[in-house]
Structure 1
Amino acid sequence: MNRGGTEGLVAAERLPPHDLEAEKAVVASLLVEPEAIYRVVTIVSPEDFFRDEHRWIYEACRDLWQRGEAVNQVTVAHELARRGLLEQAGGTAYLSQLVAELPTPLVAEHYARIVQRDSVYRRLLQAAQEIAQEAYRAEDPDIARVLARAEARIAAVRQVQEVRDFVHLSEVLEGWQKTQAALTGPVAAEARAITTGYMDLDTLLLGGLRRSELIVVAARTGLGKTSLLLNFARNAALRQRAVVAIFSLEMAAEQLAQRLLAMESGVDSARIGSGVISDRDERLIARALTRLSEAAVYIDDSPVLTVAEMRAKARRLQVERGLDMVMVDYL
């Protein structure tokens, strides 16, 4: 009984993940080596530092660099003093201590990645705490909405990514060769682009809609953007057995389904909506219903969704069903 209480106390007092030595090494590297800022600034942001004084020093270094001024102990101390933070950051003595204790500035990126990684862990803990608090309160009767918010919080943590760096052309070409080889290999179905169903458009797109690409369909209101996207979805799902997710922020799922039914059956959408249809139309609609029911098209018509929520829902669909294409109507 007492042991359990002690373990609970230790857990409650445990600090979130952080590495003060790595934080010191990052800011010290900036004070010693002028070129270190170029290697570090794309990896960490001020919010990634656990200790306030390290965050203040990093901000001062970054802002000096952005203004094109020299970054060293003297200029950083002056910048901190100008902001009224020099004494709170430990004074000039602490800046000198950081420099004296720095092992080497040559691997500043390594230190920066440690700081950034621990920052992600802390964000994950914060998200988990918020999820747990909402679960304990149990105030929202719509559990699906609660799960969506939880997934959105986790997705927001995932969005913290390192900026990509330069890649030599040879590496890009090597990746291209692997992609081309996959188009004729045993994983061809996963690597090949998804065709739109419009031959001329597929030609312009160099084969169709390629995975990982973001394509924006733009036109004035009422010119058929939604209809075109639905045709893309229908062709992909029926002809290529692709799994398609549609986020419809403007039109209800039933309206989209009716449009898809009209496209597949060839029966005018207005007649389907009014219910005034002939026997022949009924047969066409029945056959279209059978074909569309087998299509892996998933529609979410939530009127208000954040990007994080859409990403969370898409990831869940990817895990549960697989996912080849995501459409958002509209941005």
Structure 2
Amino acid sequence: MADTSYSPNESAELPYSLEAEQTILGAILIDSAVLPVVLETIRPDCFFNEQHRTLFQIILQMFTSGEKADVITVLNAAVAQGVFETAAEGRSYLAALINIVPSTSNIESYCAIVAEKYYVRCLAFAARGILQDIQSGEQNAQTLMDAAEQRIFD
């Protein structure tokens, strides 16, 4: 008989790529023309790092309102929204984002990495929810399977 024991590791770190997230943001700051390519694959939720998610949302808001997103405009908006404690901290971080970018020409690859990690995290969250439903013992097998299928599909 197969071992069906399960011991969840809630403290297990979810997959993400800090470098790929940073590189996407840095590439956009270097050349805002890459943003439409990024938007084909990436949305704010794809970023694991909360600061990166907020910076991307700022850039996206600028893009949709017709503003140009560069280091100065993003810094100004980020400081206003409290993303950075000080303008100096923000300048330093945004400069580091720009310096980490090996090339903007490979932006699709960086986006693919971030998207892949995002989908694996989504699957992990769905699996946790499915296990919680099972452990509650409140639903029959068919209802559990239907709910699990819907969670994975979503």
- The TM tier, using the shorter chain, reads 0.7 to 0.9
Deviation at 1:13, TM superposition (A): 3.6
* Aligned-pair Cα RMSD in Å: 2.0
**Cα distance in structure 2, aligned partners of 1:13 and 1:47:** 21
Aligned runs of 1:302-317 on 2, under 5 Å?
none
Deviation at 1:146, TM superposition (A): 1.6
Distance 2:48 2:31 in 1: 23
Equivalents in 2 of 1:139, 1:106: separation in Å? 52
The one of 11, 14, 18 equivalent to 2:12 is 14
Q: Distance in 2 between matches of 1:12 and 1:149?
A: 21
Size of the aligned set, in residue pairs, is: 147
Q: 1:51 aligns with which of 35, 40, 49?
A: 49
Distance 2:11 2:73 in 1: 38
Cα separation, 2, equivalents of 1:36 and 1:80: 20
> Which structure has the highest helix share of the two?
2
In 1: Cα distance, 2:65 partner to 2:85 partner: 23
Which is greater in Rg?
1
Deviation (angstroms), 1:12: 4.9
Instruction: Map Cα deviations across residues 147-200 of structure 1 (whole Å, 9 max, x no partner).
Output: 1111111111xxxxxxxxxxxxxxxxxxxxxxxxxxxxxxxxxxxxxxxxxxxx
Normalising by the residue count of structure 2, what TM-score does the alignment of the two structures yield?
0.88
Instruction: Please report the TM-score for the alignment, with normalisation by the length of structure 1.
Output: 0.42
Matches of 1:80 and 1:44, distance apart in 2 = 20
The 1:18/1:56 distance shift into structure 2, 3 A limit, reads: same
- C-alpha change, 1:45 and 1:72, in structure 2 (3 Å) is same
1:25-72 CA-to-partner distances (Å, cap 9, x unmatched) read 000000001211011012111011010111111111111111111111
Once the two structures are superposed, the pairs formed by residues 256-275 of structure 1 within 5 Å of their partners are none
Contact 2:79 2:86 in 1 (8 A): no
The structural deviation recorded for 1:87 is 2.5
Percent of paired sites with the same residue: 27
Flag structure 2 segments of 5+ consecutive residues without an equivalent. 1-6
Higher relative contact order (CA 8 A, sep 6+): 2
The runs of at least 4 aligned residues of structure 1 exceeding 3 Å deviation read none
Q: Which has the higher strand share?
A: 1
